[in-house]
Amino acid sequence: MFPRRRSGVHHYHRLAVIFLLAACGATAGAVANECPDVDAAALQWLDKMSRSLRQASYHGVVTLQRGDETHVMQVSHSVAGGISSERLTELTGQGAQVERVAHPLDCIHPGDRILRLEMLSAEDRCGIARQYRFSIADSERVAGRNAVRLKIEPRDMYRFGYVMALDRETGLLLKSQTVSHGQKILETIQFAHLTLTDDSAAAGAATTGDLGAGNVELVHEAQHPAPGSAGNAKAVGRAWTVGWLPRGFTATDAPVGNSGRRTYTDGLAVFSVFLEDLNVEMRPGEGAIRQGGTTTYTRGLRIAEQPVLVTVIGEVPVNTARMVADSVKWVQ
């Protein structure tokens, strides 16, 4: 599994969503008929990719390229007994570590429901194809393996595009590039080395690590909160919600409440909104930082005379983050 970060962890969760893509082959053909500009062959490859994560165990080395910055990580993924486990360890930088253990293979996340075509309502049979165009591009080799390239282009200005390389044999995601609207590659994450393993070998790697574990300085244990939970986010004084979302995004946790965080996904991109009560006034203004495909946007606002700080972090353009932040409101 590729990494993600909020700072480091955020990118890990976005690619976890990508890996959990699921769509049955028969349904893919039906959707292609109902949505004429959908590439049925591309949907078949997405289906193979989704099943590969639930079937294949592996370990390898992954590189993350953002401009002049390069980060190297070791990743292990095991599937055994109806559960999956992952461990990701940075081999550069702080040596941070992310773990996810005993994750049920039959767990259905909100992002999964968006991408599982058999779960779509009759009114929305095109699913994520309403937000993105999918097509098959030229082949390439990644980590010494033959791969099929998928181009994923956004249908609006509110999200980025992607180019993915899938292993021809297993369907595993070997490489993912985030692409801006100007066709600039914002970041590239790919396997430099990949070894397919049996379940017991991968399980051992995912729980003990085999490279660089002695240098770990930070450990992040991936949360798996119950539906409707916002985890350990700090509470704010009043119930609040986000008034505007790009089409196709849905909440992955409770969309209304006092928790200081909301998270949304369209099945590929993910972003979180954080709200913090302030005891003092802030000077008007905003701040935005983009690291590769991840935007961090912060803005001080007054909502019904209460000063607050709103932060949006995720894989969306700055203008999308700004519009989301401006729409935050108290629940009456």
Residue 6 has what pLDDT?
38
Residue 232 has what pLDDT?
56
Q: Residue 79: CA atoms inside 13 Å, Cβ hemisphere, count?
A: 13
CA 40 to chain centre: 23
Q: Contact, 203 vs 295, CB < 8 A? A: no
Residue 258 has what pLDDT?
85
Q: Tokens representing 192?
A: 């430099």
pLDDT, block means (10 residues), the chain with 332 residues: 39 39 35 65 77 82 91 90 84 82 62 46 65 90 95 95 94 94 94 84 49 47 51 75 93 82 88 90 83 93 89 96 95 84
Burial class (CB in 10 A: 0-12, 13-18, 19+), 121: exposed
Find the helix or strand (DSSP H, E) in which 50 lies. Answer: helix 40-55
Residue 36 has what pLDDT?
64
Give the distance between the most distant pair of CA atoms in the chain: 59
Which residue has 């249908």 as its token pair?
Answer: 155
Strands 185-197, 173-179: pairing is antiparallel
Residue 225 has what pLDDT?
53
Whole-number CA gyration radius for the chain: 20
Closest by CA position to 310, among listed 325, 321, 290? 325
How many whole angstroms separate alpha carbon 216 and alpha carbon 89?
8
Q: Contact, 10 vs 294, CB < 8 A? A: yes
Number of continuous H segments (helices) and E segments (strands) in the chain: 6, 20
3-state secondary structure of 273: strand
Residue 52 has what pLDDT?
74
φ, ψ dihedrals at 118, nearest 5° = -70, -10
Residue 107 has what pLDDT?
59
Closest by CA position to 45, among listed 150, 123, 141, 122? 150
Domains defined for the chain, CATH in brackets: 9-221 (2.50.20.10), 235-330 (3.30.200.100)
φ, ψ dihedrals at 5, nearest 5° = -145, 155
